[in-house]
Structure 1
Amino acid sequence: MSTSQTLKQLPAELINSENFRRYGQVIFASQDGKNFDVEDAQLNLQNGTPRFYIMRLDKKGRKFHQITRHLQCTQCLGALAGKDWLIAVCPPHNDRNTPVLEEIAAFRIPGNCFIKLNEGTWHAGPYFEHEVVDFYNLELADTNVVDHFTHDFVESHNLEFEMI
């Protein structure tokens, strides 16, 4: 029995509203004064105190073996300074406690938009090749304490992913 990990390459598709719909929303700039509509982030932050902050991440590369989800809130992520980045996602299946391996997808996100992840969407990232990227993050104040569920593919499948 081999103990070496398998590396699965995951092609990263350029994100748009249609190809990301299963996982959440892509939010692009709109004219000031536009009325609220379905193109705006449809947020669920009712289960706690919203937290909006800027997180600084050092170079993350493109490989991952863990994926996380939050069941109690939506989460918004976007890069400052127009930097592009990557994220892997898997749609939520409320009847499952693990992500569906065959449904994991990767996206390249340009620096001119942000994403809103639906409640329960599994996600790995942000990942990037830049030395440092500052991201704004909107979630609940205690999301990473009480609503943070992680699946480890090394433990379950002896598997690591690389977004290409």
Structure 2
Amino acid sequence: MTLPLTPQRLTAQPITPESFAPFGQVIFPSADGAVFGPSDAQLKLDRGIPRFYIMTLEAKGTRFRTITRHQRCTQCLGALEGKDWFIAVAPPGEAEQPEPSKIRAFHIPGNCFIKLEVGTWHAGPYFTDAVISFYNLELSDTNITDHQTCSLAQDFGLEFEIVGGE
């Protein structure tokens, strides 16, 4: 049985280290030569071969019906060329599905990147430019062996749209 879809609008909030803390870290530029510390990405990539690559994505709007998580590693995402973008996230946890009421959207400026904590549910990147290239740090097999997706449409009858925040 297919549930009728209920649209949910998420207003993208500006990302700050404090607001993003339940989901991971936001990393802003630091001075060359700064020593490693808590404002650096705290990575967990010890369960396989790390993969750092550039992916080119075409705009697909700001609506989503699925959300994904990775349980074996952290993931870092950042846009090249100073482009702004959006991501929707829900906190990590033991449950097999995220709580839809806990999904938040963030506006991410092009002068930083995010590190998603292990198990953080995420949908995106989303953006309004025609094309953006992103760098992505995860494990080499993350999208094969560590990719759990929840269908918000099928399981909850929800479709989300990220608005504002620019």
Coarse TM-score class (shorter-chain normalised): over 0.9
Say if 2:90 is the partner of 1:90.
yes
Residue aligned with 2:42, SS:
coil
Greater share of helix = 2
Q: TM-score, normalised by structure 2?
A: 0.96
Number of residue pairs aligned between Structure 1 and Structure 2: 163
Partner amino acid, structure 1, of 2:57: L
Q: Which residue of 2 aligns with 1:31?
A: 31
2:83·2:109 contact (CA, 8 Å) conserved in 1? yes
Say if 2:47 is the partner of 1:47.
yes
Q: Which residue of 1 aligns with 2:118?
A: 119
State the shift of 1:102 in Å.
Answer: 1.2
Where does 1:40-79 land on structure 2 (aligned, <5 Å)?
Answer: 40-79=40-79
Distance of 1:26 and 1:134 partners within structure 2: 18
Distance of 1:120 and 1:146 partners within structure 2: 14
Partner amino acid, structure 1, of 2:64: F
Distance of 1:99 and 1:157 partners within structure 2: 11
Distance of 2:70 and 2:99 partners within structure 1: 16
Distance of 2:2 and 2:155 partners within structure 1: 14
* 5+ long unaligned stretches in structure 1: none
Q: Deviations over 1:56-83 (max 9, x none)?
A: 0001211001000000000000000000
Runs of 4+, deviation exceeding 6 Å: none
Distance of 2:103 and 2:92 partners within structure 1: 11
State the shift of 1:2 in Å.
Answer: 9.1
Distance of 1:102 and 1:153 partners within structure 2: 11
State the shift of 1:158 in Å.
Answer: 1.4
Residue aligned with 1:19, SS:
helix
Q: Deviations over 1:22-57 (max 9, x none)?
A: 000000000000000000000000000000000000
Cα RMSD, aligned residues only? 1.2
2:80·2:133 contact (CA, 8 Å) conserved in 1? yes
State the shift of 1:106 in Å.
Answer: 0.3
Report the CA distance shift for 1:34/1:61 in structure 2 as closer, same or farther (over 3 A): same
* Percent of aligned positions that are identical: 56
